């Protein structure tokens, strides 16, 4: 875990576009935060503890139990840094990383406007869907792993439900940057309620008119 990781972000092929986030899986989130702050003067961090943000989750093709985690965010040269600490031994991609003793970058996150296209392009070009999350036609996210290189990409459906989370995180981080103190926050409160209701309305219309594109392959 080092700032040089942000200077060596790979250029992603296909429809993925710009990397929004560099993520690490850690055993102890407080120790990881201290590492970044003391070794590299990166911070402050926004911290949310003991949450289960992944809903309707499939892990390696099987319906998965909820995975509690603690999570923290900061920024390096404008790119989001994410730290994830799994809190339970529920089988998950996060616990896989700890079992493999992964020390460096775990995954890169991207946002895509056309999730079905990006998802299917990846599965047709050497990636496996290790984790599928969310609801088609509303908001989807997947961790896709390249079978040859081991590269993991978190692909996020970029819409009115997901974009405000990233925008609000950066605005919140900017508000604490000057003072420099880590701050606890609630990730679930970052999506505006208006966007939720609008998204649900559009989803119902799509569902009733047969416009929902099913992405997860069984």
* Share of residues in the chain with pLDDT > 70 (%): 98
pLDDT 10s digits, 159-194 = 988 998 999 999 999 999 888 999 999 998 887 777
**What is the residue range of 160's domain?**
16-208
In a domain, 121, yes or no: yes
Asked whether residue 92 is assigned to any structural domain, the reply reads yes
Summarize the confidence of residues 23-41 as an average pLDDT. 96
**What pLDDT is attached to residue 17?**
87
pLDDT at 160: 87
pLDDT of residue 86: 96
What tokens were used for 36? 């970044």
In a domain, 93, yes or no: yes
Residue 199: is its pLDDT beyond 80? Answer: no
Residue 216, pLDDT > 80, answer no
- CATH code: domain of residue 73: 3.10.180.10
Is pLDDT above 80 for 108?
A: yes
Q: What's residue 155's pLDDT?
A: 97
**Whether the predicted pLDDT of 21 surpasses 90:** yes
Check the CA dihedral 105-31-162-166 and report its sign: negative
User: Is 3 among the domain residues?
Assistant: no
139 Cβ contact partners less than 8 Å away, ≥ 6 residues apart: 157, 159, 161, 162, 199
**Above 80 in pLDDT, residue 72?**
yes
CA atoms 183, 159, 120, 149: torsion sign: negative
Residue 119 — very low, low, confident or very high, per pLDDT cuts 50/70/90? very high
pLDDT score recorded for residue 116: 93
Confidence of residue 217 (pLDDT cuts 50, 70, 90): low
pLDDT of residue 126: 94
**Total tally of structural domains belonging to the chain:** 1
118 located within any domain = yes
Quote the pLDDT of residue 74: 97
User: How far is Cα 160 from Cα 166, in angstroms, rounded to an integer?
Assistant: 11
pLDDT at 151 over 70: yes
- Asked if residue 10 is part of any domain, the answer here is no
Is 218 a member of any domain?
no
């Amino acid at each position: 875990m080092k700032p040089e990781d942000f200077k060596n972000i790979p250029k992603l092929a296909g429809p993925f576009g710009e990397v929004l986030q560099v993520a690490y899986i850690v055993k102890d989130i407080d120790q990881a935060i201290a590492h970044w702050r003391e070794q590299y003067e990166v911070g402050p961090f926004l911290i949310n503890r003991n949450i289960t943000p992944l809903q309707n989750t499939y892990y390696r093709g099987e319906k998965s139990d909820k995975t509690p985690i603690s999570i923290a965010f900061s920024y390096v040269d404008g790119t989001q840094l994410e730290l994830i600490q799994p809190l339970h031994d529920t089988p998950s991609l996060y616990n896989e990383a700890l079992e493999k003793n992964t020390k460096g970058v775990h995954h890169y996150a991207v946002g895509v406007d056309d999730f079905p296209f990006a998802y299917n392009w990846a599965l047709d070009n050497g990636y496996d869907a290790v984790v599928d999350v969310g609801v088609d036609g509303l908001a989807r996210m997947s961790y896709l792993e390249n079978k040859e290189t081991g590269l993991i990409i978190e692909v996020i459906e970029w819409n009115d439900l997901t974009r405000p989370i990233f925008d609000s995180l950066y605005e919140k981080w900017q508000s604490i940057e000057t003072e420099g103190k880590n701050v606890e926050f609630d990730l679930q409160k970052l999506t505006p309620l208006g966007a939720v209701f609008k998204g649900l309305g559009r989803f119902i219309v799509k569902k009733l008119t047969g416009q929902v594109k099913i992405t997860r392959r069984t």
